[in-house]
Structure 1
Amino acid sequence: MTEGYVIEPIRKSRLSQKIVIQICDLIRNGQVLPGNRLPSERELAEKLQVSRASLREALSALEVSGLIETRHGGGTYVRDFYEFGVTSPLALVLSTSNEIIGDLWEVRLIFEPAVAARAAVRATAAEIETMHDILRQHSAYLDRIDGSDLLVDLDRTFHTTIARASRNQVSVRVLQLTNELLAESRRNYVSTPERRQLTYIRHTEIVTAIENRKPQVARDAMLAHLEEIERALLGEFVEEEPVIT
């Protein structure tokens, strides 16, 4: 099964995560298609030069995500997730690509400041109160190192609330898609108290502008917020990962 694949050995730490990236690269590059059978566990471990324990950990994570499935007595297969549209398995494949992550942030930079400006004109009092409630929940985690998953959910709800307040359903759909694909990078971003505090400050500025009905201020605040996150996240992708060609 691996004839024609160039699979480079993995030598550094966090092996299971790097194995996940390798397998996602196989799928993203079209070398293994939905419905195809993966190489055997022994064959993959030899090609990657990793222990079978590390490989099993990675395969388990991929199976939990829904990207692959193990068939009793029949091996491991890539699930045919395309028929369901953009789902978590596809998000996992796309979110392991630094280039795609950069493209996704560019999309948000293009449209989300305009969405915030629209929300400053169209948001209801109830929607603004929802934004304040999210800020109150966020404030409880400013000086802590736990709660990253909760903060990612709060961030998703915050930006989705603004999109809904713009009264543009396409914006809501686009934001839901990018939120799903960028979830892991956002989780990494909110892992430090400094970044949590900065996000809280920027979110507060955005809500204040929307509440005061100042579209241009809301636009500028959202743009500044997204640019800060983009710079921080893309700056973390400085180490070249092994690739499959």
Structure 2
Amino acid sequence: MEEKFSALRELVGRMAGQRLPGERELAEQLQVSRPTLRAWLDILEQEGSVQRRQGSGTYAVNVQAGPALRSISLLIDASLKLGDDPFISLLVDQLLASIQAEHMQCSIERISSSGQAPLRLRDGAILIGQAGQALIQRISAPGIPIVCMLLTSEVTSHARVSILQTADREAGAESAASLLRAGCQQLLFIGKQEVSASWERWQGAQQAAQQAGSEIAFRSCSLNYQAGLQMGRELAETQTSARRGIIVTNDWLALGVRTGLLGKGIPLEQSPLVSFDGLPMTEDPALGIASLQIPIATMAEDAIKELQRLARHRLPAGRAVRYPLSWRPEQGPIL
């Protein structure tokens, strides 16, 4: 079957810009069933290799016909603190590296959801942060391809906009499940409900705890090291003999929480800690932080590929792509 799918790819490549044979003829030519053919065409349509036109047929896309992306606008939510948030800083660095690898130029601007200042848009745009949601309709009007990151909303229909999302709710559920499997009698989630990723992780953790018949508490906290340090010291004052599992909504905050606990003499085994992002700062075994990784490098590379795909399409082709978080291979979940 793989050989037949490869034959279909080759046919599509040879017929760039032309209408493909009808489904019956194409299925007979490849000697496959029509449902199988339709499934293959769905895959090729998602990749941007074919385009279905109602009442006309299926066309092979000429991938060379779309405008070339020479420069990209990188628009970053002004509320995201690049210098104080290692995750955002790493994401931006990875995006810049991916853009440079494609020999493109890049301009960086800070944006806000309420701002009306004119934007210097390039051939395509990458929006980072919730402020991007308010700007999608405004900047998509000229028809440039757009990729949004760190949004929870779905792609607006009939738009050249794609959203790269992280599976935060599922990651939150896994964090709680891992602590319960480790025998924790209490669960505590530390985060900020106003931040969408934190809220989604909390919802997932809460659902997993409820399904297991366990209680979980929520503590609101600013998402930075200093706030985590203070929170860790406060938690140490209420530590009991029970094993309390702590879920912290990002690594930078988690590092502060762990430092605060250790400074007050709370041992690692008494307070297992799960976090998110998978940043290098949490890899030290002495910290005892199990972090679910976000595939930052993959998302950065995919953001550029998605812009290129959108640029090739004459018709709306926006979509949402979700990325699961995973345990570090050498670390694994808490046992």
The interval holding the TM-score normalised by the smaller chain is 0.3 to 0.5
TM-score (structure 2 length as normaliser): 0.26
- Which structure would you say has the larger RCO, counting Cα contacts within 8 Å and 6 or more residues apart? 1
Larger Rg: 2
- What TM-score comes out, normalization by structure 1 length? 0.33
Structure with greater proportional helix content:
1
The structure with more strand, counted as a fraction of residues: 2
